[in-house]
């Protein structure tokens, strides 16, 4: 374990989650209906190769066969993959597991829409009716029901294969504050057995044929059932910084986050953390891979986003200091090459970098929670949660 308290406060760790960037089947992929899903592998083959030289230099191509990203005999970081060990494949479940909490029971899903015992209290409390109530693509359901919302003032409520209660509203017809308040009401009402993972505000603008969701999305997650890495860091007095939607996924518990418009702004905020005099832990989510491309089966967009991130990676690496630890990983898969537009049950890549990191093969880790355990050890925390640290293999313990 690193030297305790005297050195831990000067250390920094950055956990960078590439949302939806899986790297191949997990042992239970078939049980989730995701047979054949392999986000990075399938995408690399479909695109005739990916141009990811900087991720490749860290060891990405050593984890699994990827067209265009060959294995390297001299990786600059430690590399491996991690298996999802919680029940479920949504963003909340994946981020919680990264932070040391494994779920034995999946969050409820609604393949036929929400029952009356869910919708009737929501309608009564918000004073607006409900349109749609179906499993739907967000862009499609908005196009289908927006005009009805303009005429009736009703919420567009929909879900997906994931455990989500999504509420869409046009920003000119229903004020944002009212939409957010409706989400807060839904979050408070959705108790077991209807304790969905997330309530999501989906504001949009525009007109027929040109509706567009805005960056004013908000997620309202159910609180984690036990202490996470964030709780342990807070108890130890270690600063915590968020980038992207991560605070929403932890119900704002011990984390405030800078919400970003896109991946480019997310990387900019991460660089602000690294280039400043900040200490502590930075937890960042880059959501474009999942939100803009995986859910829309946009292979070209997904590949382009990966290559754009790869171009920015050297700037991130150059900003790391002697006592910095960078872990790049994902929360689940979202294969844009399959017919499904939902998350996929996959293992995720784990890349570890920093001036003191020894290049090493980490193998296939038993749980995403190994990431949280490693960060806890980096900060000399007594808490471990689920998972086993891989710092020793990186030459850091």
Residue 344 CB neighbour total at 10 angstroms: 27
The confidence band for 10, taking pLDDT boundaries of 50, 70 and 90, is: confident
- Write down the pLDDT at residue 7: 53
Among the CATH numbers 3.40.50.720, 3.40.720.10, 3.60.20.10, 1.10.10.10, which is that of 8-103+223-394? 3.40.720.10
Please list, in sequence order, all residues whose beta carbon lies within 8 angstroms of the beta carbon of residue 351, skipping any fewer than 6 positions away: 55, 58, 59, 60, 77, 78, 79, 327, 328, 329
- Write down the pLDDT at residue 161: 82
What is the Cα–Cα distance from 397 to 394, expressed in whole angstroms? 8
| Cβ(261)–Cβ(300) below 8 Å | no
What is the Cα–Cα distance from 320 to 313, expressed in whole angstroms? 11
Please list, in sequence order, all residues whose beta carbon lies within 8 angstroms of the beta carbon of residue 81, skipping any fewer than 6 positions away: 23, 24, 63, 64, 347, 348, 349, 350, 364, 365
8-103+223-394 against 116-221: fold identical = no
The confidence band for 27, taking pLDDT boundaries of 50, 70 and 90, is: very high
Secondary structure letter of residue 223 according to DSSP: P
- Write down the pLDDT at residue 70: 98
45: left (phi over 0), alpha (psi -120 to 50) or beta: alpha
Q: What is the pLDDT of residues 185-244, one digit of tens each?
A: 999 999 999 999 999 999 999 999 999 999 898 889 899 999 999 999 999 999 999 999
Q: What is the pLDDT of residues 74-99, one digit of tens each?
A: 999 999 999 999 999 999 999 999 99
Q: How large is the average pLDDT for residues 246-255?
A: 92
Residue spans per domain, the chain: 8-103+223-394, 116-221
Q: What are residue 14's phi and psi, to 5 degrees? A: -120, 120
The confidence band for 138, taking pLDDT boundaries of 50, 70 and 90, is: confident
- Write down the pLDDT at residue 8: 58
Statement: residue 37 has pLDDT above 90: yes
Strands (DSSP E) contained in 65-107 are 78-82
What is the Cα–Cα distance from 391 to 229, expressed in whole angstroms? 16
Q: What is the pLDDT of residues 316-354, one digit of tens each?
A: 999 999 999 999 999 999 999 999 988 999 999 999 999
Of 53, 34, 33, 36, whose CA–CA distance to 45 is shortest?
36
What is the Cα–Cα distance from 26 to 209, expressed in whole angstroms? 39
Secondary structure letter of residue 173 according to DSSP: T
Location of structure tokens 């083959």: 45
| pLDDT mean across residues, the chain | 94
Q: Which helix (H) or strand (E) is 325 found in, with range?
A: strand 324-329
Q: What are residue 271's phi and psi, to 5 degrees? A: -65, -35
| Cβ(12)–Cβ(321) below 8 Å | yes
Task: Order across the sheet with 240-243: list the strands.
Answer: 257-258, 240-243, 280-286, 12-18, 324-329, 348-353, 78-82, 360-365
Statement: residue 143 has pLDDT above 80: yes
Location of structure tokens 């929670």: 369
Q: What are residue 356's phi and psi, to 5 degrees? A: -100, 5
End-to-end CA distance of the chain: 5
What is the Cα–Cα distance from 327 to 368, expressed in whole angstroms? 12
The CATH architecture of the domain made up of 116-221 is 2-Layer Sandwich (3.30)
Q: Calculate Rg over the CA atoms of the chain.
A: 21
| Cβ(347)–Cβ(89) below 8 Å | no
Q: What is the pLDDT of residues 153-183, one digit of tens each?
A: 999 999 988 899 999 999 999 999 999 999 9
Whether this prediction's pTM lies above 0.85 is answered by yes
Indicate the burial class of 45 (C-beta count within 10 angstroms; 0-12, 13-18, 19 or more): middle
Statement: residue 355 has pLDDT above 80: yes
Least confident of 128-132, 161-165, 225-229, 378-382: 161-165
């Amino acid at each position: 374990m690193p030297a305790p308290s005297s050195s831990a406060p000067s250390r920094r760790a950055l956990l960078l989650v590439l949302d939806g960037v899986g790297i191949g089947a997990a042992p239970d992929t078939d049980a989730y209906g995701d047979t054949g899903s392999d986000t990075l592998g399938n995408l690399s083959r479909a695109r005739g190769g990916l141009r990811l030289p900087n991720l490749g230099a860290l060891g990405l191509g050593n984890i699994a066969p990827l067209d265009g990203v060959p294995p390297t005999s001299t990786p600059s970081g430690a590399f491996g993959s991690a298996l999802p060990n919680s029940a479920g494949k949504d963003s909340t479940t994946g981020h919680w597991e990264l932070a040391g909490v494994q779920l034995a029971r999946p969050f409820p899903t609604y393949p036929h829409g929400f029952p009356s015992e869910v919708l009737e209290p929501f309608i009564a409390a918000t004073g607006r009716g409900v349109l749609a109530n179906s499993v739907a693509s967000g862009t499609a359901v908005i196009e289908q029901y927006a005009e009805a919302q303009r005429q009736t003032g009703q919420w567009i409520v929909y879900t997906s294969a994931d455990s989500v209660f999504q509420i869409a509203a046009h920003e000119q017809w229903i004020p944002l504050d009212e939409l957010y308040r409706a989400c807060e009401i839904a979050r408070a009402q959705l108790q077991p057995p209807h304790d969905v993972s997330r309530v999501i505000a989906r504001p949009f603008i525009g007109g027929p044929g040109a509706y567009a969701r805005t960056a004013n999305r908000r997620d309202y997650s159910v609180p984690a059932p036990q202490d996470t890495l964030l709780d342990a860091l807070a108890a130890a007095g270690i600063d915590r910084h968020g980038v992207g939607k991560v605070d929403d996924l932890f119900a704002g518990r011990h984390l405030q986050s800078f919400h970003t418009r896109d991946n480019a702004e997310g990387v900019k905020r991460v660089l602000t953390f690294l280039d400043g005099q900040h200490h502590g832990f930075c937890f960042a989510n880059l959501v474009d891979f999942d939100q803009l491309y995986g859910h829309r089966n946009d292979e070209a967009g997904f590949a382009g986003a990966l290559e754009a991130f790869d171009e920015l990676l050297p700037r991130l690496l150059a900003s790391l200091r002697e006592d910095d630890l960078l872990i790049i990983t994902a929360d689940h898969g979202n294969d844009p090459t399959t017919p499904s537009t939902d998350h996929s049950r996959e293992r995720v890549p784990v890349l570890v970098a920093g001036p003191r990191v020894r290049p090493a093969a980490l193998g296939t880790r038993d749980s995403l929670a190994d990431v949280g355990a490693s960060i806890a050890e980096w900060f000399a925390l007594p808490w471990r949660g689920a998972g086993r640290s891989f710092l020793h293999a990186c030459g850091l313990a």
